[in-house]
């Protein structure tokens, strides 16, 4: 195995950028990109198709055609070796005549797990693993979390005022952040498989939690409400739009008979009711359905529940310029009191707001 060259890193960076563009579109498959390079020129490039198939490699090879012979393929995830709904990508690469394959991350899927590399090497193809490994881990973080830990990757989003509040008691939505931040939140939603709020937020704000940003309207994630006693009104925007974008209402397993009526009403309106007593149970259930990424969007109680369970991997903190005052609803934390164990990865200014991206330091 040789160390990746500058050129390898340049093409892998391009592949990772391409893969990131389809995050949220390929579930339950990861978004993987493949770039085929012949004599320094890109002759084929593709990302996993919406819905997860075809995989990246077969599409990139189709574009390259005969030019793939002797070329180098850059793939963000180890090419698959299993016969799933499509034949193995490793076979397609071998048949194409590529001379070398550069991989960022090995695939933890137990059907693959190094077998893709073995197939390629057995066929005489040079394989280099680990180019831009950290970037690969980040781009595939949700998929890797589900594969390795059998739970989705959890990001907690909070919009906090200067005085550490997330809203005002008795009021619906309070505008804490500006238009650019709100558009960024829409992008975050589009990139995630599922989005979650507590019943407090669902009842107070009556949000629909869909993606409305121009061009991303078809990328609304599944919506989940933590609602132990099934109080979510059937007339809420969430339930009324359940036919278009799925809604899962998470209730206690042991509910009284009155709840059976509410459950039936929610189900008749198209929502799904899922029983889970604790957050780890919920995450296990979501992972087993192929949900790799979860965005927790509010409010304070839901945020605290995930933090207390130690099940937050990323914090996306938007701090707006306004001050709310005494009747405010206090955020579990603000910029000055980030929970222990998180490190700042990125910061940006969105108009008058400050955005900070914290990652759990493991």
Q: How far is the CB of 91 from Zn ion (least distance, A)?
A: 9
Residue 299 counted as an annotated binding residue: yes
Q: How far apart are CA 141 and CA 263, in angstroms?
A: 35
Helix (H) or strand (E) holding 293: strand 293-298
Q: How far is the CB of 48 from ligand AOF (least distance, A)?
A: 4
Look-up of token digits 């960024």: 184
| Residue from 16, 47, 73, 80 in contact with Zn ion (CB under 5 A) | 80
Nearer to Zn ion, 129 or 265 (CB): 129
Work out the burial of residue 110: count CB atoms within 10 Å of its CB; fewer than 13 is exposed, 13-18 middle, 19 or more buried.
Answer: exposed
Write the CB contacts of 142 (distance below 8 Å, at least 6 apart in sequence).
23, 30, 152, 153, 192, 193, 292, 293
Radius of gyration of the chain (CA): 22
* Phi, psi torsion values for 69, nearest 5 degrees: -60, 120
Work out whether strand 293-298 and strand 342-350 pair parallel, antiparallel, or are unpaired: unpaired
**In terms of Cα–Cα distance, which of 269, 223, 231, 221 is closest to 252?**
231
- Of 59-67, 76-84, 100-108, 132-140, the segment contacting Zn ion by CB under 5 A is 76-84
Q: How far apart are CA 290 and CA 284, in angstroms?
A: 10
Nearer to Zn ion, 139 or 181 (CB): 139
Residue 159 counted as an annotated binding residue: yes
Q: How far is the CB of 73 from ligand AOF (least distance, A)?
A: 11
CB 4 within 8 A of CB 170: no
Q: Which of 7, 57, 257, 359 is catalytic?
A: 57
Q: How far is the CB of 47 from ligand AOF (least distance, A)?
A: 7
CB 245 within 8 A of CB 223: yes
Q: How far apart are CA 15 and CA 168, in angstroms?
A: 44
85's contact among Zn ion, ligand AOF, none, with CB below 5 to 8 A by partner kind, is ligand AOF
Binding site for ligand AOF (CB under 6 A): 29-30, 32, 48, 52-53, 55-57, 77, 79-80, 84-86, 89, 107, 109, 112
Q: How far is the CB of 4 from ligand AOF (least distance, A)?
A: 20
Is residue 57 flagged as an active site residue? Answer: yes
Residue 89 binds Zn ion (CB under 5 A): yes
Cα distances (Å, whole numbers) of residue 210 to 1, 96, 192, 194: 46, 42, 12, 11
Nearer to ligand AOF, 80 or 176 (CB): 80
193's contact among ligand AOF, Zn ion, none, with CB below 5 to 8 A by partner kind, is none
Residue 209 counted as an annotated binding residue: yes
Residue 304 counted as an annotated binding residue: yes
Nearer to ligand AOF, 26 or 181 (CB): 26
Work out the burial of residue 140: count CB atoms within 10 Å of its CB; fewer than 13 is exposed, 13-18 middle, 19 or more buried.
Answer: buried
Residue 34 counted as an annotated binding residue: no
221's contact among Zn ion, ligand AOF, none, with CB below 5 to 8 A by partner kind, is none
Look-up of token digits 């704000």: 205
Residue 347 counted as an annotated binding residue: no
Residue 199 binds Zn ion (CB under 5 A): no
In the bound state, the residue with its beta carbon closest to ligand AOF is: 84
Nearer to Zn ion, 76 or 192 (CB): 76
Nearer to ligand AOF, 147 or 184 (CB): 147
Annotated binding site for Zn(2+): 55, 80, 89
Annotated binding site for substrate: 189, 209, 212, 297
Q: Which residues are known to be catalytic?
A: 57
Interface residues with Zn ion (CB under 5 A)? 55, 80, 89
């Amino acid at each position: 195995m040789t160390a990746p060259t500058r050129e390898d890193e340049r093409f892998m960076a391009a592949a990772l950028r391409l893969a990131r563009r389809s995050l949220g579109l390929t579930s339950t498959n990861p978004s993987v990109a493949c770039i085929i390079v012949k004599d320094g020129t890109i002759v084929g490039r593709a990302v996993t198709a919406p819905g997860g198939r075809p995989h990246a490699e077969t599409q990139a090879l189709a574009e390259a055609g005969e030019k793939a012979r002797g070329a180098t393929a850059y793939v963000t995830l180890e090419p698959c070796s299993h016969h799933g709904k499509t034949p193995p990508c490793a076979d397609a690469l071998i048949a194409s005549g590529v001379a070398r394959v550069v991989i960022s991350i090995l695939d933890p899927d137990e059907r693959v797990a190094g077998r893709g590399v073995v197939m390629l090497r057995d066929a005489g193809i040079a394989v280099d693993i680990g180019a831009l490994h950290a970037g690969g881990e980040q781009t595939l973080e949700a998929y890797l979390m589900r594969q390795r830990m059998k739970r989705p990757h959890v990001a907690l989003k909070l919009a906090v005022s200067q005085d550490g509040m997330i809203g005002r008691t008795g009021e619906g939505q309070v505008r804490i952040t500006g238009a650019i931040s709100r558009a960024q939140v829409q992008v975050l939603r589009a990139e995630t498989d599922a989005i979650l709020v507590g019943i407090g937020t669902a009842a107070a704000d009556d949000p629909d939690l869909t993606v409305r940003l121009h061009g991303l309207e078809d990328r609304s994630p599944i919506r989940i409400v933590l609602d132990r006693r099934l109080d979510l009104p059937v007339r809420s925007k969430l339930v009324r739009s359940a036919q278009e974008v799925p809604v899962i209402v998470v209730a206690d397993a042991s509910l009284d008979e009155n709840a059976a009526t509410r459950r039936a009403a929610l189900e008749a309106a198209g929502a799904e009711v899922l029983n889970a007593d604790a957050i780890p149970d919920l995450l296990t259930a979501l992972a087993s359905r192929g949900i790799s990424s979860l965005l927790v969007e509010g409010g304070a109680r839901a945020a605290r529940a995930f933090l207390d369970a130690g099940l937050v991997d990323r914090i996306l903190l938007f701090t707006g310029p306004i001050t709310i005052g005494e009747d405010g609803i206090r955020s579990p934390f603000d910029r000055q009191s980030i929970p222990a164990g998180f490190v700042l990865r990125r910061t940006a200014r969105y108009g008058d707001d400050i955005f900070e991206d914290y990652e759990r330091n493991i």
